[in-house]
Amino acid sequence: MGRTHKVLVVEDEFLIAMELRRTLTEAGYDVVGPVASVSDALSLLQQSHPDACVLDVNLRGQTACPIAEVLRSMKVPFVLSTAYSQNEIDTHAALAGASNIGKPAPRQDLLQAVAELVG
């Protein structure tokens, strides 16, 4: 596969975060995280520059908008993994237009979305 791509996982539900990490690791990605809060994700992004990110929208009652803004400024592509509808997502400028693979994300949808991000 050539160079290993680093994928940041931002998810506050432990079991879903572990499943995302396992699926991505098995597919050959170097998983950064998972992290479960906005502050932890922002701290991690000061130290690491991932190639892509799988981002939950609601993290312990906070929106992931600050993370999305930093990812966009770093030119790191991201995909959302949330149960929110596209209409709800699009009300947030930082998230508008990002594709949503759902939550929990079907394995094949997750892998296809991440492959497109790093492709």
Output the pLDDT for position 112: 97
Are 7 and 29 in contact, with CB atoms under 8 Å apart? Answer: yes
Q: Could you give the number of structural domains in the chain?
A: 1
Is 73 a domain residue?
A: yes
Is 20 a domain residue?
A: yes
Output the pLDDT for position 2: 52
Output the pLDDT for position 97: 87
- List of residues 6+ apart from 58 with CB closer than 8 A: 12, 64, 82, 84
Output the pLDDT for position 34: 97
Are 89 and 65 in contact, with CB atoms under 8 Å apart? Answer: no
Domain of residue 81, residue span: 6-118
Partners of 8 in beta bridges: 32, 53
Averaged over successive runs of 10 residues, the pLDDT of the chain (119 residues) comes to 84 96 97 97 96 97 97 97 91 92 94 96
Mean of per-residue pLDDT scores for the chain: 94
Strands in 52-55's sheet, in edge-to-edge order, are 30-35, 6-10, 52-55, 78-80
CA dihedral 108, 116, 16, 12 (to 10 degrees): -170
Is 102 a domain residue?
A: yes
Is 1 a domain residue?
A: no
Output the pLDDT for position 1: 44
3-state SS, residue 58: strand
Is 82 a domain residue?
A: yes
Q: For the domain that residue 88 is a member of, what is the CATH number?
A: 3.40.50.2300
Output the pLDDT for position 17: 97
